Chain A
Amino acid sequence: MKSFTYERVDTPAAATAGFARTPGARFIAGGTNLLDLMKLEIETPAHLIDVSRLKLDTIEPTSDGGLRIGAMVRNTDLAADARIRRDYGLVSRALVAGASGQLRNKATTAGNLLQRTRCPYFYDTNQPCNKRRPGSGCAAIGGFSRLHAVVGASEACIATHPSDMAVAMQALDAMVETVDKAGKTRRIALADLYRAPGSTPHLETALAPGELITAVTLPKPVGGTHIYHKVRDRASYAFALISVGVVVQPDGSGRVALGGVGYKPWRVKAADAELPRGAKAATSALLAGAKTSHENAYKLPLVERTLAGVLAQAKG
């Protein structure tokens, strides 16, 4: 770990101002991922701006009948919120499928969205990794790739995004609210937050340097049956091999998003339209153009079979 300076801020404006003042700074909230990355010198910020005390830790109704979730709402609190559990069960179920109780107590809503991949080659600084050291190559391609992406990947990177919560939020059309260094706010669809790796996998999000997530909004509840099925080798405390989040309406229509298959939660509008026709049709749309290695080819049948199981469960 490199030495760094530290400040704690009280307002988003102070946070972005701090960033403007100190190039190479990082925001830190729960720190459940960033601190590990710093210990391994994968992240080497010269300055940390602690945003964990920002008053962004409430969940409030929005004017259009949805919810605004403050960026600093802890994963535990979000999963346990009565409104979330009643109207957005997918979010609650995805959250409790992730990490451990201790980590969820620390981890924040914005931090969860911005956590980095768990590709083991990204974590070993001796290995080439275009995400960690642009231009150095990708050791995962042709290597141990059982956990890696099958859609949206590039010749430069096959890493997946590890968040469960983001899969649920993507299925529910969440929006991310931000403020930048100039104090300008904007709303980004979660679907547009993550950048495809292309030839620049180190650029992971649409956020500008110093742009701070202040909230995530969920539109008004869509009803239906919410199921999140996270598939993994051990029963708890493991990242998804794949995960399937669905909202299914009584008429069989609905929406579906996948985790563990790509650089972001994977949702394809055409797949939603295919849902009433069943898992095979929806999976074909979801995984169109999938590219697999010998080690992760199982993810294709696994997605279809998991989705089939989930749809059967939704029917009851």
Chain B
Amino acid sequence: MKFDTPATENPIDQLKVVGKPTSRIEGPLKTSGTAPYAYERHDAVPNQAYGFIVGSAIAKGRIASMDLAEAKAAPGVLAIVTAASAGMLGKGDFNTARLLGGPEIQHYHQAIAIVVAESFEQARAAAGLVRVQYTRDKGNFDLASSLDGAIKPPAFFGTEPDSSFGDFDAAFASAPVKLDEHYTTPDHSHAMMEPHASIASWDGDKLTLWTSNQMIAWSVGDVAKTLGIPRENVRLVSPYIGGGFGAKLFVRADAILAALGARAAGRPVKVALPRPLIANNTTHRPATIQRIRLGATSDGKLTSIGHESWSGDLKGGGPETAVGQTRLLYAAPHRMTAMRLAVLDLPEGNAMRAPGEAPGLMALEIAIDEMAEKLGMDPVAFRILNDTQVDPEKPERKFSQRQLNECLRIGADKFGWAARNPKPGLTRDGRWLVGTGVAAAFRNNLNEKSAARVRLDRAGRVIVETDMTDIGTGSYTIIAQTAAEMLGVPLDQVEVRLGDSLFPVSAGSGGQWGANSSTAGVYAACAKLRTAIAQKLGLDPAKATFANGKVSAGGKSIALARAAADGEVVAEDMMEYGDLAQTFQQSTFGAHFVEAAVDAATGEIRLRRMLAVCAAGRILNPKAARSQVIGAMTMGAGAALMEELAVDKRFGFFVNHDLAGYEVPVHADIPSQDVIFLDEVDPTTSPMKAKGVGELGICGVAAAVANAVYHATGIRVRNYPVTLDKLIDRLPAIA
């Protein structure tokens, strides 16, 4: 099915099942610990051995020598694979560094060997006996000192590095009110609960990987390319994923080294990345240095917006697209954005929840707060005044839906914003300085083609198969809701099978495109199945309605199951997209409001309230969507207050590479959270009229927190995370 004109009324609009706050259909499996994650697939194949990965001890250089004798002789060892013994390996399209390093080393903890043994303990012990001598090369590990050599990168996933509109330089130079500031965001780790894990099993030249992966089809391709085998010989199975946040968009060392280990040992091999290896072995959200220039008239109209961002990556990598939202968020006749990329020898950067917008808004939405203050304006009113309903760089292009102002107004009302003292540093509650902050949320909507197969069986049950993944988001549930709505059956009559490369190729989970795209694919397959069923029952497909387990048309009403009386009825289809996303700018919007308290003596920051108001198309399942947003707000609070991969600029690695050192919020950090979804349907996105929301939720949160801390203390921190050591010298004098 091709979606190339805005959706009209369709069966989804009945909203009998879709749009309801249904609990996760796979929830009981997860809450009872019985959802089988990759590493737990003891049942999948017999005789599994264990692999343990050895990571490089240096960031850049070469392996001078490797002595495996002791390790090979250790109890239980079945095989050891290194680059020297692995044979020719390719590199996946989505990988920057090679997944098995040696002799050249490209980053710290790059995998250099896998030791396979009968037990996990034996593999781990033997891995400690692999003796490696390195020749260390000088590396470049410091973004701040690399700005001069940074280059203009090629377009990255469709995002051009530069944009300009009007005459920014002249407009900024002549603006009556100006802001010109630098902001920094640190490297972030996804810190998902389930580590990267895979079980690999060969059957002749065919490989099956039970793994934890967000993008099945991408990863089938990259496994095949890396191992140099045809993609039809690779099967990936990933039905349950314990969080990804972008860390599992791509094939990582666990999968490739499990496959190599299994081939060498002649047995299935399972591998999980130990937590201390994950930060440096896998991807992370790259640090940025951002410069923002804003010019405005004295009555608060922005005349010029400039946003530049510098980030680093290994050679061949890409930029953090931190300026993307700035091209679309606020009106101004004169504009420029630019991204520059430095070559760093740190581990490879890549996508983490809302790549681009998350760090971009961390900077932009502080700048907007600062500009409002310079203008003597309320920061909510300043944002509303500078709204745009068209793409500012292409004014003929309208937003498909844009309710940013409504989000801000409703949020301000609900939050009690009007009671706020506009002057910072004046509100006390005992030893606490109290402040409130606001930020806009913006995340682009992306539609990706997505296919599904739907079966009606003799019992009238509907079975949906697609390689879509559920990374904790609720994919199982919204897909079941979509099929139930389309075919007029109760939710418990639908079975959803996900995450298997034997199923039709879906959009996968990433970029908050999964919900709308994957359900649209299921919609297409269900539409085809409706036709097949009606024809089978001798009813007019154009007139048939599906409700209460019956198909009705022309005064006749027949039980759905009858269509499958002599065998399953099966339909498969894919939703593809025309140019509506070019005709209209499709984006999601929100507003975050935060109340923070700062201990006037110590500078400790504790959040008191968080509110998000989101406008993101049809909300397919308000309960799942709310879970996504409060989780994203939590992650945003982490980015604001504590998350930072500490770079050792001498040795070139992230030092705090475990969950004791890389702090993410705990329950005690997160206060009362509230989420409001505005009523919205967006007929330009798909027949579902939905958009994504899982990444919108993090966008702007950290800036709202930083702005609240400023309002509480009068101290502006432009370098994340906002920790007490950055406040301590400027807090009020103590008695």
Task: Write out, one digit per residue, whether chain A residues 176-191 have a CB within 8 A of any chain B CB (1) or not (0).
Answer: 0000000000000000
Task: Determine if B663 and A139 form an interchain contact, defined as CB atoms under 8 angstroms apart.
Answer: no
Chain B CB within 10 A, most for which of A127, A144, A229: A144
Task: Determine if A308 and B125 form an interchain contact, defined as CB atoms under 8 angstroms apart.
Answer: no
Complex Cα distance A271/B431, Å? 25
> In the complex, what residues of A have CB within 8 A of residue B642's CB?
233-234
Task: Determine if B724 and A123 form an interchain contact, defined as CB atoms under 8 angstroms apart.
Answer: no
Interface size class of B (residues with CB under 8 A): 35 or more
Which of B344-352, B530-538, B622-630, B647-655 lines the interface with chain A?
Answer: B647-655
> In the complex, what residues of A have CB within 8 A of residue B661's CB?
118, 120, 123
Residue of A nearest to B56 (CB): A126
Task: Write out, one digit per residue, whether chain B residues 166-204 have a CB within 8 A of any chain A CB (1) or not (0).
Answer: 000000000000000000000000000000000000000
Residue of A nearest to B663 (CB): A234
What is the CB-to-nearest-CB distance from B133 to chain A, in angstroms, rounded to a whole number?
A: 13
Complex Cα distance A312/B124, Å? 52
Task: Determine if A301 and B729 form an interchain contact, defined as CB atoms under 8 angstroms apart.
Answer: yes
Q: Taking the complex as formed, is A2 at the interface, i.e. its CB lies under 8 A from any CB of chain B? A: yes
Task: Write out, one digit per residue, whether chain A residues 134-146 have a CB within 8 A of any chain B CB (1) or not (0).
Answer: 0000010011101
Task: Write out, one digit per residue, whether chain B residues 713-730 have a CB within 8 A of any chain A CB (1) or not (0).
Answer: 000000001011100110
- Asked, given contacts A118-B660, A120-B656, A143-B650, whether A236 binds B601 with beta carbons under 8 Å apart, the answer is no
Task: Write out, one digit per residue, whether chain A residues 218-232 have a CB within 8 A of any chain B CB (1) or not (0).
Answer: 000000000001011
Task: Determine if A234 and B669 form an interchain contact, defined as CB atoms under 8 angstroms apart.
Answer: yes
Among A32-56, those with CB < 8 Å from B are 39-41
Complex Cα distance A121/B646, Å? 12
Task: Determine if A234 and B731 form an interchain contact, defined as CB atoms under 8 angstroms apart.
Answer: no
Q: Taking the complex as formed, is A80 at the interface, i.e. its CB lies under 8 A from any CB of chain B? A: no
Q: Taking the complex as formed, is B373 at the interface, i.e. its CB lies under 8 A from any CB of chain A? A: no
- Asked, given contacts A41-B128, A231-B724, A309-B431, whether A237 binds B731 with beta carbons under 8 Å apart, the answer is no
What is the CB-to-nearest-CB distance from B713 to chain A, in angstroms, rounded to a whole number?
A: 13
What is the CB-to-nearest-CB distance from B141 to chain A, in angstroms, rounded to a whole number?
A: 12
What is the CB-to-nearest-CB distance from A74 to chain B, in angstroms, rounded to a whole number?
A: 21
- The number of residue pairs between A and B whose CB atoms lie closer than 8 Å in the complex comes to 110
Q: Taking the complex as formed, is A306 at the interface, i.e. its CB lies under 8 A from any CB of chain B? A: yes
Among A1-17, those with CB < 8 Å from B are 1-3
Task: Determine if B725 and A298 form an interchain contact, defined as CB atoms under 8 angstroms apart.
Answer: yes
Task: Determine if A236 and B667 form an interchain contact, defined as CB atoms under 8 angstroms apart.
Answer: yes
Q: Which of A143, A229, A237 contacts B655 (CB 8 A)?
A: A143
Task: Determine if B603 and A39 form an interchain contact, defined as CB atoms under 8 angstroms apart.
Answer: no
Complex Cα distance A51/B671, Å? 41
Q: Taking the complex as formed, is A69 at the interface, i.e. its CB lies under 8 A from any CB of chain B? A: no
Task: Determine if A302 and B667 form an interchain contact, defined as CB atoms under 8 angstroms apart.
Answer: no
Q: Taking the complex as formed, is A124 at the interface, i.e. its CB lies under 8 A from any CB of chain B? A: yes
Q: Taking the complex as formed, is A277 at the interface, i.e. its CB lies under 8 A from any CB of chain B? A: no
Interface size class of A (residues with CB under 8 A): 35 or more
> In the complex, what residues of B have CB within 8 A of residue A239's CB?
660
> In the complex, what residues of B have CB within 8 A of residue A312's CB?
431, 601, 735
Q: Taking the complex as formed, is A279 at the interface, i.e. its CB lies under 8 A from any CB of chain B? A: yes
Q: Taking the complex as formed, is B540 at the interface, i.e. its CB lies under 8 A from any CB of chain A? A: no
- Asked, given contacts A124-B276, A236-B669, whether A308 binds B57 with beta carbons under 8 Å apart, the answer is no
Complex Cα distance A118/B125, Å? 23
Q: Taking the complex as formed, is A86 at the interface, i.e. its CB lies under 8 A from any CB of chain B? A: no
> In the complex, what residues of B have CB within 8 A of residue A301's CB?
728-729
Q: Which of B58, B124, B600, B601 contacts A39 (CB 8 A)?
A: B124
Q: Taking the complex as formed, is A208 at the interface, i.e. its CB lies under 8 A from any CB of chain B? A: no
Task: Determine if B641 and A234 form an interchain contact, defined as CB atoms under 8 angstroms apart.
Answer: yes
Q: Which of B57, B655, B724, B735 contacts A298 (CB 8 A)?
A: B724
Among A220-269, those with CB < 8 Å from B are 229, 231-239, 241
Residue of A nearest to B74 (CB): A3
Residue of B nearest to A2 (CB): B125
Q: Taking the complex as formed, is B576 at the interface, i.e. its CB lies under 8 A from any CB of chain A? A: no
Task: Determine if A143 and B724 form an interchain contact, defined as CB atoms under 8 angstroms apart.
Answer: no
> In the complex, what residues of B have CB within 8 A of residue A121's CB?
655
Complex Cα distance A289/B51, Å? 50
> In the complex, what residues of A have CB within 8 A of residue B548's CB?
none
Q: Taking the complex as formed, is A85 at the interface, i.e. its CB lies under 8 A from any CB of chain B? A: no
Task: Determine if A302 and B728 form an interchain contact, defined as CB atoms under 8 angstroms apart.
Answer: yes
Q: Which of A118, A120, A234, A302 contacts B665 (CB 8 A)?
A: A234
Q: Which of B602, B657, B660, B729 contacts A231 (CB 8 A)?
A: B602
Complex Cα distance A238/B731, Å? 23
What is the CB-to-nearest-CB distance from B58 to chain A, in angstroms, rounded to a whole number?
A: 8
What is the CB-to-nearest-CB distance from A316 to chain B, in angstroms, rounded to a whole number?
A: 12
Extra 18 A-B pairs, beta carbons < 8 Å, given A234-B663, A309-B601 = A3-B75, A118-B660, A120-B646, A123-B276, A143-B648, A144-B656, A233-B663, A233-B723, A234-B641, A235-B666, A236-B667, A236-B668, A279-B734, A298-B724, A302-B724, A305-B601, A308-B734, A312-B601
Q: Which residues of A contact B (CB under 8 A)?
A: 1-3, 39-41, 118, 120-121, 123-124, 126-127, 139, 142-144, 146, 229, 231-239, 241, 278-279, 298, 301-302, 304-306, 308-309, 312-313
- List the 3 closest A-B pairs by CB distance, nearest first: A309-B601, A298-B725, A126-B57
Could you pull out 25 A-B pairs where Cβ atoms are within 8 angstroms? Answer: A1-B124, A3-B125, A40-B276, A123-B276, A124-B276, A127-B651, A142-B650, A144-B646, A146-B725, A233-B642, A233-B724, A234-B642, A234-B668, A236-B666, A278-B735, A302-B602, A302-B603, A302-B725, A302-B728, A305-B603, A305-B728, A305-B731, A308-B601, A308-B735, A312-B735
